[in-house]
A and B are shown apart, each in its own frame.
Chain A
């Protein structure tokens, strides 16, 4: 099983700041990496797939990069609605064997 490790745990950041979240895969997953945002009481929402493609309706302040084993999600200027938990997910194997990172929480400083 591929293990996904997210750094940071909880990050306290201020609105307007730029923040970069990291995700590492235990083996090469090429670009088969997605990022999700989850707010309390809601289902996760897809932000990025294919490591760098924004999902439909996602603002340009969200960007993803990386390939292989190292990936990042950058939010260029934090808005109040961005304070949430973020998960990375790999979907590289066939047949499907999907794993998520443990999540990084963004809190308001």
Chain B
């Protein structure tokens, strides 16, 4: 059974960085892509970026471009977001698509990141 298990919640000061991990079981990340999606409290879903686990190529949304770094090893994907502001407070999810699509069939459980002074 394929599962993505994320790291625990974080509380960060404004201007700091956060790194969230997403450990895969039942699949090797070098054969797939992983996206990161976030959801601010009471809000909708926002795609942040994607990494190709095979070659490390990444894409990110314009909103977080320049602040987002996505990396991966064979079992774990990582999302690092820098220069945090209060509007980065959200639940962050990693997700894997069906086959080669970006329709996300497997989701991590989510990691709450709170940015507060």
Indicate if the CB atoms of B110 and A43 lie closer than 8 Å.
yes
Indicate if the CB atoms of B103 and A100 lie closer than 8 Å.
no
Binds A, one of B7-15, B44-52, B71-79, B82-90: B44-52
Could you say which residues of chain A place their CB within 8 Å of the CB of B47?
Answer: 96-100
Contact residues, B87-110 vs A (CB, 8 A): 93, 97-98, 101-105, 107-110
Indicate if the CB atoms of B103 and A49 lie closer than 8 Å.
yes
B35 within 8 Å of A (CB atoms): yes
Q: How far is the CB of A94 from chain B (nearest CB, A)?
A: 9
Indicate if the CB atoms of A91 and B101 lie closer than 8 Å.
yes
Contact residues, A68-109 vs B (CB, 8 A): 87, 89, 91, 95-103
B59 within 8 Å of A (CB atoms): yes
Indicate if the CB atoms of A100 and B45 lie closer than 8 Å.
yes
The residue that A56 contacts in the complex, of B62, B97, B101, B105, with Cβ under 8 A, is B105
Indicate if the CB atoms of A101 and B44 lie closer than 8 Å.
yes
Could you say which residues of chain A place their CB within 8 Å of the CB of B93?
Answer: 43-44
Residue of B whose beta carbon sits closest to that of A100: B45
Indicate if the CB atoms of A89 and B103 lie closer than 8 Å.
yes
The number of chain B residues with a CB under 8 A from chain A is 23
Q: How far is the CB of B97 from chain A (nearest CB, A)?
A: 8
Could you say which residues of chain B place their CB within 8 Å of the CB of A32?
Answer: 101
Among the interface residues A38, A44, A55, A102, which one has the most CB atoms of the partner chain B within 10 A?
Answer: A44
Indicate if the CB atoms of A34 and B44 lie closer than 8 Å.
no
Could you say which residues of chain A place their CB within 8 Å of the CB of B102?
Answer: 91, 96, 98
Residue of B whose beta carbon sits closest to that of A90: B102
Docked Cα-Cα span, A98 to B101, in Å, equals: 11
Given known A97-B61, A100-B45, contact A50–B101 (CB-CB < 8 A): yes
Docked Cα-Cα span, A102 to B108, in Å, equals: 21
Could you say which residues of chain A place their CB within 8 Å of the CB of B108?
Answer: 43
Docked Cα-Cα span, A18 to B45, in Å, equals: 26
* A-to-B contact residues, CB < 8 Å: 1, 32, 34, 36, 38, 43-46, 49-50, 55-56, 87, 89, 91, 95-103
29 pairs, A vs B, C-beta closer than 8 Å = A1-B62, A32-B101, A34-B103, A36-B45, A36-B104, A38-B45, A43-B93, A44-B45, A49-B98, A49-B105, A50-B101, A55-B103, A55-B105, A56-B105, A87-B44, A87-B45, A89-B103, A91-B97, A91-B103, A95-B50, A95-B57, A95-B59, A96-B33, A96-B50, A97-B59, A98-B50, A99-B47, A100-B44, A100-B46
